[in-house]
Each structure stands twice: as structure tokens, then as C-alpha cells.
């Protein structure tokens, strides 16, 4: 917003309104909506955040005077990768999963998220409606949020290397919500250095990166002591058969072509975590995931 000289207008209620929600996930959803508004609003535009009481519901609204949406786009805006051409031109290489992720997080807590627009060029508005339960109080909220952060799955360390920061951070947040420790770096040289230091269980590498490309990173990792340990995933826009062969020869275990369904990566990482738990970090044999 600062870079594009946006005006940010915030309207808060006159009194304190309690809600029952996970503060980490709520902050993530609101950040997604604000980032989305900034991305699709021209320099000098206006973005509004408002919170209000509507009957028994608490409503969080994020509005902008940006490119707006057609009726067809509104019908699919929360689907994975659902972006029309005007939006794709401004996507800055993102994965196209932010709104779908937001919808999933909101609905986990029996809340609702909606989108509206008067049409192309007329801005957009997103609203999150949080139902109010009479028993909700400060202590009740704290207790419920503490419960929601109890991890029920095995977690591991994941290193993401991608020079597209928006894409890397969005994917990282998605994996963090699964309970994993995730670190991102913007180039291949940092990826190798940090991999040697952290010894991550999984590395997700873009192919076209400054410093070292993804193939070179994979080759260097495999030459390290215990280089067979990390699961190497190529995340790239190059999806031809020769690209997959080249990735395999460089040492990758899995090749994902962008845009890919993040759930596939989540499932692969979950399987990797369970294998590590069952084997108590027994040396990893490559190609177990093929």
C-alpha cells in the first residue's frame, strides 16, 4: 500500500466486540484480503477496512476502488487459481490460492466469507461474517484459541526457495497452518547455505532463480553428507517431459508444474513427516515418493 501510495481508511466500532476465533488464522485471512485489495488497486487508490455489528454477527469488510470483478468472476472467485486475465496481469506471479485459502480458513470456524462488485473497473468488497455466541467472553475465547493451536500431526522443517516472494510466502503460510516450520529464501545460493545449516526434511525449489537455479541447488544438496535425506520438490512453470527428466537427473524426487494444487504438496509433506516419525529419522532413501 505504501509503495503504491494507497489511502487506507479504517472504521472501527464504538465499543469492544468479542468474537470466538483463532487470532493467527483471522489475522492471516484479513492480511490476504488487504493484500488482494492492494494488488488489484491502481496507485493512488483507496482501500477500506471496516468492522461492524450486524444483528448478532460481527462483520469484517475490506473494500477497494480497484479493477472490480465481472459476474462470471464473482461466481468462481474463491476457487483455486480462479483469476480472469485482468487479474492475472497483476498477479505478480502468485499462486492464485490466497482467496481459496481464506475461504477454507473462515469456514473451519463456521464463519462466512462473501465477495461483491458492481462490475469491471468499479472496485470490489469482501466480507467475513462471524456469528456471535452468547457465552463468548474474554476467557472463553482464550481457552478455545489455546485448544485450536494443539498440533495433532507430526511437523517437520520445510525450506522454500523462490525469487517470487509473494508466491513463496503464500505457500509458506499454507504449510505453517499445517503446523510445519517453514523458511523461505529468494535465491539458490541462500538455499544451499541454509539447507546445510538447518537440514530441512523437505525443500521446495523454483527452477529459475538468481545465484543458482533449482537444478544446481539440487545437485549441490545431493553431494553433501546426508544429501539423500531431504525430499526435493521442483516447483516450476516448466512442465514438459524433458523438464521432468532433467529434474529427476538433477536429484529431485517430485516435479510440480505451476500453478499446482497446494493440497498435493501438503499430502506429500504429511506422508514424509509420518515416515520420519515411524523411522525415527532413519536415513531417507530417494524415490520412496515416486
Report pLDDT for 154: 73
- Greater confidence (179 vs 189) lies with 189
Contact (CB, 8 A) for 153 and 273: yes
pLDDT over 80 at 153, yes or no: no
What is the Cα–Cα distance from 284 to 289, expressed in whole angstroms? Answer: 11
Report pLDDT for 165: 83
Task: Kindly report whether the peptide bond that precedes residue 259 is cis, defined as omega within 30 degrees of 0.
Answer: yes
Q: How much is the pTM?
A: 0.56
Residue 122 grid coordinates: 468499479
Beta strands in the chain (DSSP E): 7-11, 46-54, 57-64, 112-116, 124-131, 157-161, 181-185, 202-205, 231-236, 254-257
Beta strands in 169-253 (DSSP E): 181-185, 202-205, 231-236
Report pLDDT for 280: 58
Mean pLDDT of the chain: 83
pLDDT over 50 at 262, yes or no: yes
> What are the start-end ranges of the H helices in 40-75?
71-74
pLDDT over 60 at 145, yes or no: no
Contact (CB, 8 A) for 235 and 162: yes
Report pLDDT for 213: 95
What is the Cα–Cα distance from 219 to 2, expressed in whole angstroms? Answer: 40
Question: How confident is residue 151, by pLDDT bands cut at 50, 70 and 90?
Answer: very low
What is the Cα–Cα distance from 95 to 39, expressed in whole angstroms? Answer: 13
What is the Cα–Cα distance from 120 to 106, expressed in whole angstroms? Answer: 26
3-class secondary structure, 286: coil
What is the Cα–Cα distance from 131 to 229, expressed in whole angstroms? Answer: 46
Beta strands in 109-156 (DSSP E): 112-116, 124-131
Q: Which domains occur in the chain, in start order?
A: 7-148 (3.30.565.10), 157-279 (3.40.50.2300)
For residue 3, report the phi and psi dihedrals to the nearest 5 degrees.
Answer: -65, -35
What is the Cα–Cα distance from 43 to 52, expressed in whole angstroms? Answer: 28
What is the Cα–Cα distance from 289 to 67, expressed in whole angstroms? Answer: 43
Q: What distance lies between CA 169 and its chain's CA centroid?
A: 6
Report pLDDT for 77: 86
pLDDT over 50 at 88, yes or no: no
pLDDT digits (tens, 9 = 90+) for 90-116: 544 444 567 877 887 788 778 899 999
Lowest-pLDDT range, 129-143, 167-181, 258-272?
129-143
Report pLDDT for 277: 77
pLDDT digits (tens, 9 = 90+) for 224-241: 988 889 999 999 888 889
pLDDT digits (tens, 9 = 90+) for 160-177: 999 988 788 888 888 888
Residue 250 grid coordinates: 538433477
Amino acid at each position: 500500500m505504501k509503495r503504491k501510495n494507497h489511502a487506507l481508511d479504517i472504521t472501527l466500532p464504538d465499543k469492544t466486540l468479542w468474537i470466538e476465533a483463532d487470532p493467527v488464522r483471522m489475522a492471516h485471512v484479513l492480511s490476504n484480503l488487504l493484500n488482494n485489495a492492494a494488488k488489484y488497486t491502481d496507485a493512488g487508490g483507496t482501500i477500506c477496512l471496516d468492522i461492524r455489528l450486524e444483528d448478532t454477527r460481527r462483520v469484517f469488510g475490506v473494500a477497494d476502488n480497484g479493477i472490480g470483478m465481472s459476474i462470471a468472476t464473482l461466481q468462481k472467485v474463491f476457487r483455486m487459481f480462479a483469476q480472469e486475465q485482468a487479474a492475472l496481469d497483476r498477479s505478480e506471479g502468485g499462486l492464485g490460492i490466497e482467496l481459496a485459502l481464506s475461504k477454507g480458513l473462515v469456514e473451519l470456524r463456521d464463519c462466512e466469507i462473501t465477495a461483491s462488485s458492481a462490475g469491471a473497473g468499479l472496485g470490489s468488497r469482501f466480507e467475513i461474517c462471524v456469528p456471535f455466541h452468547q457465552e463468548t467472553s474474554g476467557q472463553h475465547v482464550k481457552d478455545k484459541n489455546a485448544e485450536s493451536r494443539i498440533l495433532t500431526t507430526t511437523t517437520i522443517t520445510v525450506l522454500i526457495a523462490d525469487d517470487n516472494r509473494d508466491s513463496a510466502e503464500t505457500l509458506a503460510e499454507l504449510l505453517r497452518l499445517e503446523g510445519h516450520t517453514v523458511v523461505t529464501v529468494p535465491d539458490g545460493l541462500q538455499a544451499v547455505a541454509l539447507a546445510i545449516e538447518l537440514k530441512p526434511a523437505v525443500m521446495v525449489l523454483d527452477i529459475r532463480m538468481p545465484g543458482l537455479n533449482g537444478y544446481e541447488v539440487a545437485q549441490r544438496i545431493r553431494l553433501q553428507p546426508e544429501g539423500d535425506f531431504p525430499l526435493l520438490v521442483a516447483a516450476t512453470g516448466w512442465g514438459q517431459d524433458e523438464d521432468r527428466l532433467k529434474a529427476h537427473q538433477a536429484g529431485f524426487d517430485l516435479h510440480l508444474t505451476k500453478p499446482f494444487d497446494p493440497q498435493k504438496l501438503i499430502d506429500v509433506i504429511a506422508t514424509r513427516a509420518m515416515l520420519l516419525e515411524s523411522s525415527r529419522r532413519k536415513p531417507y532413501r530417494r524415490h520412496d515418493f515416486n
